[in-house]
A and B are shown apart, each in its own frame.
Chain A
Amino acid sequence: MSRASGTASSEKATTSRDVPQLRPRDLLSKDDCLEIFKQVYLARYFDVRLIKEKRRGRLKGTLYSSHNQEAILVGALFGLESNDWISPIHRDMPAFFLKDIKGDWRRPDRFGMSINEVCAQVWGKADSPGRARDNWSHIGSRSKHIIHSTSMLAGTIPVAAGLMYADRLNGGNAVCVTFNGEGSTAQGIFHEAINYAAVHKLSVVTVVENNQWAYGTPMELGCPTSDVADRAKGYGIPGFIADGQDVFDVYDKVMMAVEHARKGNGPSIVECKTFRAYGHGDHDDDRANKYRPQEEIVKGRQRDPIGVCRRTLMALGYLGDDAAELYHAEGKNATEATNEDFPPEVVDFLNEGIEFALQSPLPAAEEAGRWVFKEDN
């Protein structure tokens, strides 16, 4: 059945009329590829570490795990220009710091959030970019070109479309990549916004992380076609399908969509086939092991994005034959993985963020009454 993950035929790939001879990934340097690999580890470690922090009682709130979907975040973000825009949703927490992270991860002038900011938000502290006024992934930054989402899914796509309309009027050539689940493609606003973006050829790339389950409802009860990307045909726009376990395939398809937009040809849908590792949120982990068939879970998680990336790099000769022996995070749940399973620079980077968040103060209670309306400073 189509619900099997990671088996997406990337050959079916595209309705784009201008498929390039070289794949975008073919232009990546060895250093780029190794950086991508490290970023996949970073995204995984962020998830693993937060789950551990919560189990240790050092963290409250609901976690929406991106485990097994890291290749989508890294692959979709890696090729963007600094001033491109993104709009992540709940399962994309690492996207906030992965945006424009290339090079020095601690670069202060990045068009992405620092790990300190993201951790301060996770811990609900005053140094959060939104001063902890809304939870989890509902942060953003106008100055860093990240749209703030709400809990109403697909709700950022019209915002992205209007933004790209205005950016074009302002003489810009930015692209906005919006992240969505396959469940949100059933929302009316998904249609309204992509329809409008297609009419005006707006530079909106709609990434659909098809992890087969919208909370407790399987894909086939929310979408009448086996591929979400088929919806693109109705708007006369490209609908790409990527193997969501393969960071390089995601990179290829998103970059094709981005270049399509950059040339003024308008929006695309990029469906990334994947599988949700755990529950919808961590409150749902136990039930998700019951409402989803065990064999489906096993199959959906058998191609860990870390392993898929590692094998690609080994085949390219960018990693030696001993690479498999170096770190052991592949295939492990958060409870099984340890710091030794990850590159030390990844662990150090997050340690810094968490330390910062723990010492950051809570916002003053009286702030709750502020900023209902614009304040003149």
Chain B
Amino acid sequence: MSAVANPTQIVKKNYVTAIREALFEEMALNPDMICQGEDIGILGGAFGVTEGLQAEYGASRVIDMPISEACIVGSAVGMALAGKTVMAEMQFIDFISCGFDQIVNMMATYCYRTAGEVNMPVVVRGPAGAYGGGALYHSQMNEAWFCNSPGLKVICPSTPYDAKGLMKAALRDGNPCLFFEIKELYRKREVEELLPEEDYVIQLGKAAVRRSGKDITFVSYGQNVYHCLQAADELAKLGVDAEVIDIRTLVPLDEDTIFTSIAKTSRLIVVNEAPMTCGFAGEIIARVSEKAFEYLDAAPVRITRLDTPVPWVKPLELYVLPSVEKIVAAALKTVKY
């Protein structure tokens, strides 16, 4: 096993290691677990998430699949029918569109249309997100497609601790889960942290308050959480005290933590890097408007990617994406509303 820390030399671990540890540990705990995806065995995954996994658990449980995303998902459904738990990797989450039908029509509805006879312990995971110059087809955050497809849980961790705990929870959940990993965080030194030696999970549907504040609430997930935290530091210098909530899972959504925060701050900005129209930021604002309207003292604001694809070169890419500057500017406007 690759990922056991030497107790005399405890080191911080990065996001990709956290996910790899989760996979190693769950494979060890659950002999009925299968991992499959493109290049995940011999190569160890395009990003090394499954490095060493096939050597440890064998080619029959860690399967190098053809370039066939629909078949990767569809065959995972078949394995679930036979009692397996499956991790199905999308090499980039962008490629998930090739497997869309099998996810939303075959897998997501299976429990529903069988009146609960069959459940689907399948986690479809993959590297997601922009800010890395990946261009149109290696930068997407397409989580909203799946939030709009009943029967799927949708998860997006922002820290190594969460990535491991949420991955283990997803693999034990028994429902189909989509797990959006932020590839820009995979090896980012600044987010490394100590992970517990003992087994742990993080309950799906529980948000985390990353920074406590009283003047305005930022709600986000994934790498935009860090943009929110940096914006909060900038705003603190200007006398504005921002609270930052990391929802961690989109479906199910922890509304209570969001409403509790807004009850305190009365102001809301939601930040996500997916495009604006019909994105999850809009969903959060809709729920707040329906259920917590009386708490608001200002119009809630979305900061999202523009309704464009993610362009390639840096100035173009950054132009369309949320940034610390955009958040600070919007916050200053909102607190003066």
> What residues make up the interface of A, taking CB atoms closer than 8 Å to B?
129-131, 133-134, 138, 140-143, 147-148, 150-152, 155, 157-167, 169-170, 188-189, 192-193, 195-196, 199, 367, 370-375, 377
Contact = CB atoms under 8 A, between A and B. Distances in A.
A193 B81 CA distance: 16
B106 A142 contact: no
Contact of B84 (A147, A166, A189): A166
Contact of B111 (A134, A158, A170, A374): A374
B71 A189 contact: yes
B147 interface: no
A192 to B, nearest CB: 4
Given A158-B74, A158-B75, A159-B77, 18 more contacts: A131-B115, A133-B115, A134-B113, A150-B109, A157-B74, A158-B71, A159-B75, A161-B71, A161-B78, A162-B80, A165-B79, A189-B74, A192-B70, A195-B66, A372-B150, A373-B111, A374-B116, A377-B116
A276 to B, nearest CB: 25
Contacts of B106: 150, 152, 155, 159
B117 A133 contact: no
Contacts of A129: 114-115, 117
A102 B328 CA distance: 73
A96 to B, nearest CB: 14
B102 A189 contact: yes
Contacts of B66: 192, 195-196, 199
B60 interface: yes
B82 A170 contact: yes
B105 interface: yes
A169 B101 CA distance: 26
B151 A161 contact: no
Interface string B129-157: 00000000000000000000011010000
Nearest to A168: B60
B111 A161 contact: no
A155 B105 contact: yes
B75 A161 contact: yes
Contacts of B70: 158, 188-189, 192
A192 B68 contact: yes
B204 to A, nearest CB: 10
Interface residues on B, range: 35 or more
A373 B151 contact: yes
B79 A166 contact: yes
13 contacts: A141-B117, A143-B117, A150-B105, A152-B105, A158-B78, A161-B75, A162-B74, A162-B76, A162-B78, A166-B79, A371-B114, A373-B111, A374-B173
B174 interface: yes
Q: Which of B60, B73, B74, B84 has the most CB of A within 10 A?
A: B74
B159 interface: no
5 closest pairs, A vs B, by CB? A158-B74, A162-B78, A162-B75, A166-B82, A163-B78
A161 B82 CA distance: 11
A192 B150 CA distance: 26
Contacts of B112: 133, 371-372
A161 B73 CA distance: 11
Nearest to A367: B115
Contacts of A370: 115-116
Contacts of A170: 82-83
Interface in B87-115: 101-102, 105-106, 109-115
A133 B113 contact: yes
A18 B263 CA distance: 75
B173 to A, nearest CB: 8
Contact of A372 (B76, B101, B102, B151): B151
A140 B78 contact: no
Contact of B102 (A133, A158, A169, A371): A158
B71 A155 contact: no
B249 interface: no
Nearest to A377: B116
Contact of A167 (B34, B82, B150, B174): B82
A160 B119 CA distance: 16
B78 A142 contact: no
A150 B110 CA distance: 9
A151 B118 CA distance: 18
B169 interface: no
A130 B74 contact: no
A371 B115 contact: yes
Contact of A155 (B65, B68, B102): B102
A167 B112 CA distance: 24
A141 B114 CA distance: 8
A85 to B, nearest CB: 9
Contacts of A143: 117
A170 B71 CA distance: 20
B251 to A, nearest CB: 9
Given A133-B112, A160-B78, A193 B83 contact: no
B2 to A, nearest CB: 24
